[in-house]
Amino acid sequence: MPTPPAPIIRSVAALREQIAAWRRDGAKIGLIPTMGALHEGHLSLVRRALAAGERAVVSIFVNPTQFGPNEDFGAYPRRESEDVAKFAEAGGHLVWAPTVDEMYPAGFATHVAVTGLTDGLCGPFRPGHFQGVATVVAKLLLQVQADHAYFGQKDYQQLQVVIRMARDLDIPTGIIGVPTVREADGLALSSRNIYLSAEERRAAAQLPRVMRETAQAAFAGEAPFAHLLETARARLAAAGFGPIDYVSINDAETLAPVDGLTRPARLFVAARLGKTRLIDNIPIETTTA
Ligand code: AMP
């Protein structure tokens, strides 16, 4: 028998009612914020919530305020009915899919900005992006009042921004980071991978490969980080990537650039392949996540 679809809620009022009913039953709630076009990466977050015995609430909202004027808000894949089917199949309980007007009613005037963590990496390349993310995630956390909210390490800077924001604003939801799900050739799953042509998709496999080798070389102390990062950049450019926004080794918590391994660090890359901007990151000490 096909799995019955998970219910979709589109108003904050209806969401509150459902959450209150679950709370009365003593249920725990897990929130998985997404922009839809669900893939196995998203579903791994859903499974983490279910494994914790929580009612899994996925939010599907393509948040206009986190896209720059020349970014892909209009082109971003929207496929709600497929998403709802995949989510239900995975055992999820509720889809929270507000309209833009429900999320940002007329007169909306409040924004959340996390400083410091957003100074580097994607921050300078996507002005306003993290403020858009922090604001919408603060709203989602307050709307759903989940016990835990699950975020992918794929968007590691976003994860750190959300952890800081929830701490700073005393939002009591526990923020859980989940390892990146990858294709067989190592490419991190992303809703944007569908933009890649067949040729670009083949070239994209160089990204995780160069990253893995660079992280291994950094861990082995083969050369100064600056030298390893230059080599990685050159290899990505030779594979057809460009412009390359950054190739960088940063502290895993503060996200400040580092040139040695006194604390946990990660290798971060953002680069365009044709029209598609790909981002990825891996830890330096182990090269699998
Ligand atoms: P998005 O729909 O791209 O905004 O992503 C929603 C959530 O899924 C974010 O927390 C992402 O970090 C996470 N996510 C995206 N891709 C992956 C992946 N390949 N593995 C694990 N989590 C992911």
Q: Where are the domains of the chain?
A: 8-178, 191-284
The parts of the chain modelled with pLDDT lower than 70 are 1-2, 286-289
Predicted pLDDT of residue 173: 98
Predicted pLDDT of residue 5: 72
Say if ligand 1 is within 6 A of residue 154 CB.
Answer: yes
Predicted pLDDT of residue 286: 56
Task: Confirm if 61 and 87 have CB atoms less than 8 A apart.
Answer: no
Say if ligand 1 is within 6 A of residue 247 CB.
Answer: no
d(CA 103, ligand 1 centre) in Å: 21
d(CA 224, ligand 1 centre) in Å: 32
Note the pTM of the prediction, 2 decimals.
0.97
- List helix spans (H) across 145-205: 156-168, 198-204
CA-nearest residue, atom 22 of ligand 1: 152
**Three-state DSSP class for residue 195:** helix
127 contact partners, CB below 8 Å, separation of at least 6 = 68
User: Which ligand 1 atom sits nearest the alpha carbon of residue 150?
Assistant: 10
Token pair listed for 220: 């082995």
DSSP codes joined into one string, 116-137: STTSSTHHHHSTTHHHHHHHHH
Domains 8-178 and 191-284 share a fold: no
**Residue from 44, 154, 181 whose mutation best tests the ligand 1 pocket (most atoms within 8 A of CB):** 154
CATH 3.40.50.620 fits 8-178, yes or no: yes
**270: DSSP letter:** E
CATH 3.30.1300.10 fits 191-284, yes or no: yes
d(CA 34, ligand 1 centre) in Å: 7
Token pair listed for 67: 């896209």
Task: Confirm if 143 and 171 have CB atoms less than 8 A apart.
Answer: no
Say if ligand 1 is within 6 A of residue 136 CB.
Answer: no
Say if ligand 1 is within 6 A of residue 193 CB.
Answer: no
Predicted pLDDT of residue 2: 65
Predicted pLDDT of residue 6: 80
d(CA 228, ligand 1 centre) in Å: 28
What is the spatial distance between Cα 125 and Cα 252, in angstroms, rounded to a whole number? Answer: 20
User: Which ligand 1 atom sits nearest the alpha carbon of residue 179?
Assistant: 21
